[in-house]
Chain A
Amino acid sequence: MNRRTVAFQILIFSIQWVLMIVGFGLLAEVLRPSRLIPSYVAYDRIIESAAKAGTALVMSVFWLYVWDRQVRLLVYRRER
């Protein structure tokens, strides 16, 4: 077994898991109760939902970007 790479991967998975929990916390505690679109705007509830879904999508992309950087930095810089 490649202990060094497995150890790095376990570290990366742990960080990603913590980031995922933190992300859900931000979505539940900060984004969900906040009002992004004023109520006088037409179709405010639909736009509000779309804006929140879009924010969650951006957070997911950032989460994958962090994963990508970690693998390249911790694992692939040592590739021969």
Chain B
Amino acid sequence: MSYNSARGIYGTDVHKLDKPKIPEMCGAAIPIVLVGLALLYGYYHPGNFLAMAAFSSVVGTTALVGAVDDKIGMRGRYKPALALLCGLPIVVLGLLNEGVYNPTLKVPFFGGFYLPLIYPLAIPVAISVTTNTANMLDPLNGTMAGGVAIICGGLLIGLLISGADSLPVFLSGSLLFSCLGFFYFNRFPSRAFSGNIGQLAIGGALGSMAIMGRIEVATIVAMFPHIQNSFFFLSRIRRFAEHKEITAKPTRLQADGKLASTGNPEAPLTLVRTMLVDRPASEQEVVSSIFMLFLFSAFLALITVVFTR
């Protein structure tokens, strides 16, 4: 935070009346912690070293794409395209070692589907989707870090109940605690913004965790709030676009400091707008509502993990 402040790396908190300047790109701490922990885990568990190398590569490259976006501001369609490439380390290292991913998609109650061709092809798409959907759901103080921490908490409990291997437990645990650490500074009122560097890295880590931890379906369930936010954004805008490229805004800040829906039929139906349908609300109220949705989706994910094993 102090490093970025000293170099003038600031963002504006647009949902506050006084529009404070907050240090930006502080989410860089998350990929640094995740990669460091993954390499340590790989060192002490040599059998999983390639899996950890793949995880670190995905987190590192998605963070790099985010850093470039923070610095030069890429157009909306470039991020999904570059994130596709970020998923390639899992596919390539998976060809060298079968411990990196398993092409059998395990589903709750009904066993699994062996997908030797489709599964590796779907990996880059999955990384691109999780990366960009995490990037899209960080509109208010603490929503991304808190939401992902809740998701990982649910998945971790499910994995521990079902007696999972150490790899998925490590992946969900490291993501949980790195997000919690960042949430301390990012929660309302924010003292640090994640920036695209943190958002994309967290999304990449979520996707990698789902694939390498063999909790794909449970992760999809845990990410229901993300899916809804991204789906309704894309269904209205019909293209990949940055928030700053959108002229029809879904919400506005009132004179009393509360957020309200604009009611603009052209604006995307984001999750924040959904929480403001009935009445205006404070930023903290909206964040609490979104966290409640994450808690419920994490509960469903926990059940899914237990019945998948």
Contacts and interface: CB of A to CB of B under 8 A. Distances in A.
A73 interface: no
Interface in A1-60: 1-2, 4-6, 9-10, 13-14, 16-17, 20-21, 24-25, 27-29, 32, 49, 53
A14 B228 CA distance: 13
A32 B113 CA distance: 9
B278 interface: yes
B162 interface: no
Contacts of A79: 261, 263, 277
Interface residues of A, number: 30
Contacts of B278: 2, 4-5, 78, 80
Contacts of A20: 217, 220-221
Contact of B224 (A1, A13, A29, A68): A13
Interface string B18-49: 00000000000000000000000000000000
B242 interface: no
A27 B114 CA distance: 12
Contact of B293 (A6, A64, A71): A6
Interface string A60-80: 000010011001000110111
B297 interface: yes
B110 interface: yes
B274 A24 contact: no
Contacts of B288: 1
Given A1-B292, A28-B110, A28-B111, A53 B118 contact: yes
Interface in B224-246: 224, 228, 231-232, 235
A10 B296 contact: yes
Contacts of A25: 109-110
Nearest to A9: B293
A78 B277 contact: yes
Contact of A21 (B108, B118, B261, B297): B108
Given A1-B292, A5-B274, A17-B221, A24 B228 contact: no
B292 A71 contact: no
Given A64-B231, A76-B277, A1 B285 contact: yes
Nearest to B304: A17
Contact of A14 (B232, B269, B300): B300
A5 B272 CA distance: 11
A21 B220 CA distance: 12
B107 interface: yes
Interface in B270-291: 274-279, 281, 285-286, 288-289
Contacts of B231: 64, 67-68
A40 to B, nearest CB: 23
A14 B275 CA distance: 18
A6 B289 contact: yes
Contacts of A5: 274-275, 277-278, 289
15 contacts: A1-B289, A1-B292, A4-B278, A6-B289, A6-B292, A6-B293, A9-B274, A10-B296, A16-B224, A24-B108, A28-B107, A67-B228, A67-B231, A71-B274, A76-B274
Interface of B: 107-111, 113, 117-118, 217, 220-221, 224, 228, 231-232, 235, 261, 263, 269, 274-279, 281, 285-286, 288-289, 292-293, 296-297, 300, 304
Interface of A: 1-2, 4-6, 9-10, 13-14, 16-17, 20-21, 24-25, 27-29, 32, 49, 53, 64, 67-68, 71, 75-76, 78-80
